[in-house]
Structure 1
Amino acid sequence: MTLFLIVLFAALVFEYINGFHDAANAIATVVSTKVLTPRQAIMMAAFFNLLGALMGTAVAKTIGGGLVDANVATMPTILAALISAIIWGLFTWWLGLPSSSSHALVGGLCGAALATAKGNWGVLHWSEMVDGKHIGIWPKIVMPMLLSPLIGFVGGGLLMLFLYAVLKRATPHFINKWFGKLQIVSASWMGFSHGTNDAQKTMGIIALALFTGTQAGAFDDVPSWLHFLRTPEFEVHRWVMLTCAIVMAAGTAGGGWRIIKTMGHKMVKLQPIHGFAAETTAAAIIGVASHIGIPLSTTHVISTSIMGVGATKRLSAVKWGVVSRIVWAWVLTLPITGLLGYLVCRCLHSAGY
């Protein structure tokens, strides 16, 4: 029971970090275009993150049972995954790099599961068909990781070109006035979509911990008022959803100014119409992914949408030196967190857990 409480605490710390680390996803553009003040933008993003986090559990089920064998996972496995994701999240936040909290958690979980199974790669679900649906690391993680940035870049560019064509006779005053208002809508949608995807990842981890603890008998002697902890089948309880939603909203309210500065100012100079195009593109992609249970990197999608929108101005408008640093952080996230998860789990085992 004590170890579960430690895991629960670590999961909520990760969720909080995810909130302020990825707050930039929803509000960087609306702040950089000066449509909203930083305080207004953060409060708006926190509210819509909270709302989105309560919508559905498809992504949570993918994280909790679709990537590694749930019967192999132990409390130290889950704790090691969370510790590795927290370390990477704080490190990239300190550098001001918008890395993927999703991939950090997935990498940590896979590495920790390998350590628990003593190097048996069979505990990882690579690609399987269950109830007519594809599950596993390849269809749910790797393919979206490769395709979503491309779709974000192309989608953002195409939407921006469409807006240019439709509004070619409009005055700059008209465009800035109306897209300043529309960008509030697109930023709200982006915050909502972020909540539907990112908050669910921690829900899945906590649900996995509850299932693991029940299987191991950790909750057999708990008082009757704690009976809700017992989870004989993998299930995402309502209290888990609500707790994760509140913690993520609190993290978002805490901001994440280093990453906001990178995404909103350093990559490309944006105006309200550009912010609207980038946010609308990213929100639509993330919304579809959440519906079908793909734990997408919201960071990858909004970042590449901003790049695609900026590239329509001219390719040199995008500061590709900054972009290259971001891409390296993306590439390294899975292998580094996988290694961290493996090492932390081995350390926990050596300590007798």
Structure 2
Amino acid sequence: MLHLFAGLDLHTGLLLLLALAFVLFYEAINGFHDTANAVATVIYTRAMRSQLAVVMAAVFNFFGVLLGGLSVAYAIVHMLPTDLLLNMGSAHGLAMVFSMLLAAIIWNLGTWYFGVAGVQFPHADWRHYRHRFNQCDDDRHVSGGCA
């Protein structure tokens, strides 16, 4: 498989390695973020001890990846504008990939820091929050406040 990378120049190869490092960092952040979301309720309600909840979350996340296959990865790839990527140079394509990875890392760290139960796909959360803010706006006009 290494023969696929034989034609790359040093600069592009280093950028690909850096992109791989970004992906691994994102996966690490996403792992602790998902585990915290998965175990928070059972720990808070004392339905399970924290150690057992974290171990069970790790085991079932692992089996979820094994049994779920690559469906999430393919969903992310389908979000990429492949027709645009094919018509631009590798530098622009790598810039697009880096900006998407950086945005995902910032999103995950931001939702973790502010205690928002975020997901990997920010557009799903923003749809929810936009709906809630619009609903809150409507409540203010009707009742003078928002709960």
- Give the number of equivalent residue pairs: 112
Question: Counterpart of 1:57 in structure 2: which amino acid?
Answer: L
Any unmatched runs of 5+ in structure 1?
Answer: 108-140, 150-326, 332-353
Query: Could you tell me which residue of structure 2 aligns to residue 85 of structure 1?
Result: 104
Gaps of 5+ in 2: 1-12, 86-92, 134-147
**Hey, what does 1:19 align to over in structure 2?**
31
| TM norm structure 2 | 0.65
Aligned-partner Cα distance in 2 for 1:71–1:10: 24
Deviations 1:16-37 (A, max 9, x none): 1111112133212211121211
- 1:96 and 2:115 equivalent? yes
Q: What letter matches 2:75 in structure 1?
A: T
Structure with the largest fraction of helix: 2
Measured in 2, the distance between the counterparts of 1:80 and 1:68 equals 12
After superposition, what is the alpha-carbon deviation per residue over 1:194-246, rounded to whole angstroms, capped at 9, x for unaligned?
A: xxxxxxxxxxxxxxxxxxxxxxxxxxxxxxxxxxxxxxxxxxxxxxxxxxxxx
Aligned mates of 1:8, 1:28 — CA distance in 2: 30
Secondary structure at 1:25 match in 2: helix
1:37 aligns with 2:49: yes
Shift of 1:54: 1.7
- 1:90 CA drift (Å): 1.1
Q: Give the superposed CA RMSD.
A: 2.6
Higher RCO, 1 or 2 (CA under 8 Å, sep at least 6)? 1
2:81 aligned with 1:69: yes
Shift of 1:58: 2.5
**Counterpart AA for 2:49:** T
Distance 1:57 1:85 in 2: 18
| Distance change (3 Å), C-alpha of 1:58 and 1:88 | closer
**Structure 2 CA distance for aligned equivalents of residues 11 and 27 of structure 1:** 24
